[in-house]
Amino acid sequence: MFDEAQRLGYSPKPTPKVTDLSKCIGCGYCELGCITGAKWDSRRLYKDYLEKGISLLTNTNVQKVILDGNHVDGVQVSHGASTLKIKADVYVLSAGGIGTAQILQASNLPTKEKLWVDVVLTIGGVSKDSRMLNEPPMAWFIKKENYILSPYFDLLSFWLHKPWKDVSQQDRVGMMIKLADTEQGTVAANGTVTKSLTPADYESLEKARGEAKQIMETSGATGPFIDGLIHGGHLGGTVPLTKEDIETMHPSSLPPNLWVADLSLMPRSQGLPTMLTTSALSLRVARKIAERKSRR
C-alpha cells in the first residue's frame, strides 16, 4: 500500500515510532499496552520521580478542587471508601480533554464548549491472508490539509462492529482516516460528553474515504469496502489557551495556583498523533511553574 500510495502521488512517509523493534513480537496490540516492553510509555519515568521523593497515589480519583475565593485550597479525592483532602502550593490537572474538564465543571470552574476529538474512521477492505494485525499500526501516513491517512487494523471496529467481523481477522485490512474535526463539544461534571460533526467534517471524511478506498483497491484489496466505527482518537480543547495566555501557559480563567498540563490547552485539533505535542505542552507548563516559583 505504501508503494501504491507513492505511485499515486500521495507522498506517504514512515511514521516516527518510540519503539525498540528488537523487542517487538508483532502481536499488533500496541494500543492495549506492550507485554515485551518494546513500546515507550510514561511508566519509565516513575523510577526517577520516586527516587526524587515524589509520592505516587494509585487507585485515587480526583473529584474536585476546593476553592477559597480565587485560590485553590486543596483537592478532594476518593480512595476506596475514604474521601481525602490533599493540599499543595501548586495544583496541576492533567486528566486529558475530558477528565480535566469534568473536574473543573465539578469545581464550578469554567471550561469551553470547544471539545475536539481527532475523529477516527477506518475503511475496511479484504486481502486474503494479509495478517495486518501482526504489523505495527500506522506504520506510515499521508498528510492532507485537515486529515491523515494511515494503514490500521481497527480493533474497536473488529470487536464491536458486526460488518467488520464478517471477514476473518487474517483477511481484514484497513485504512484509517484521522480528521482534525471542528472544535465543538461539551463535557459535563458527571462525565457526559456531547459531540457532533459538522457538514464540513462530513465533507472531509467523504473525500478521505474515496482516497483510502483508491489506495487499498490499487494495492489489491477488494470489497466490500465498509466503514468502521467513528470514534475519537485524541481529546482536547476544553480549556484552550488564548493568545494572551500563551506567554504564561496559564489559562486566565483559572485561579493563579491551578494549572493544566494536557491537550485541554490545545485550541484546535491538528489531526495528527499527539504524544509529542502533549509532552511539549506539559514540559512548557512545568517550566513556567518553576519560573513563577523562583521569582517569589
Cell numbers 474521601 correspond to 83
* 75-90 pLDDT tens trace: 999 998 999 999 999 9
* 188-237 pLDDT tens trace: 999 899 999 999 999 999 999 999 999 999 999 999 999 999 999 899 99
Spatial separation of the C-alpha atoms in residues 48 and 51, rounded to whole Å: 5
More confident residue, 27 or 175: 175
More confident residue, 33 or 99: 99
* 257-290 pLDDT tens trace: 999 999 999 999 999 999 899 999 999 999 999 9
Return all residues near 67 (Cβ < 8 A) that are at least 6 apart. 73, 107, 108, 109, 255
DSSP-assigned letters across all residues of 222-243: EEEEEE---EES--B-SSPPPT
How confident is the model at residue 173, as a pLDDT? 96
> Which has the closest alpha carbon to 261: 59, 50, 99?
99
Cell numbers 471542528 correspond to 182
Helices (H), the chain: 2-7, 46-51, 96-106, 155-160, 162-165, 199-218, 275-294
Phi, psi of 3 (to 5 degrees): -60, -40
How confident is the model at residue 293, as a pLDDT? 84
Spatial separation of the C-alpha atoms in residues 141 and 121, rounded to whole Å: 14
> Which has the closest alpha carbon to 64: 73, 54, 53?
73
Spatial separation of the C-alpha atoms in residues 180 and 6, rounded to whole Å: 23
Q: Extract the C-alpha cell encoding 10.
A: 500521495
CATH of domain 57-112+236-294: 3.50.50.60
pLDDT-derived band of residue 165, with 50, 70 and 90 as boundaries?
confident
Sketch the domain layout of the chain as residue ranges.
2-18+119-232, 57-112+236-294
Spatial separation of the C-alpha atoms in residues 150 and 64, rounded to whole Å: 39
Return all residues near 151 (Cβ < 8 A) that are at least 6 apart. 1, 2, 132, 135, 137, 138, 139, 140, 173, 174, 175, 176
Helices (H), 80-154: 96-106
Q: Give yes or no for residue 296 having a pLDDT over 80.
A: no
Of the candidate ranges 32-41, 110-119, 189-198, the one whose mean pLDDT is the lowest? 32-41
Task: Give yes or no for a cis peptide into 224 (omega within 30° of 0).
Answer: yes
In order of 100, 187, 295, the CA distances from 235 in angstroms are 11, 11, 34
In order of 76, 78, 81, 83, 132, the CA distances from 60 in angstroms are 10, 6, 11, 9, 38
Please name every residue paired with 258 in a beta bridge, in sequence order, or none if there are none: 91
Predicted TM-score (pTM) of the model is 0.91
The region that residue 138 occupies, defined by phi over 0 for left and psi between -120 and 50 for alpha, beta otherwise, is left
How confident is the model at residue 3, as a pLDDT? 96
Spatial separation of the C-alpha atoms in residues 265 and 152, rounded to whole Å: 28
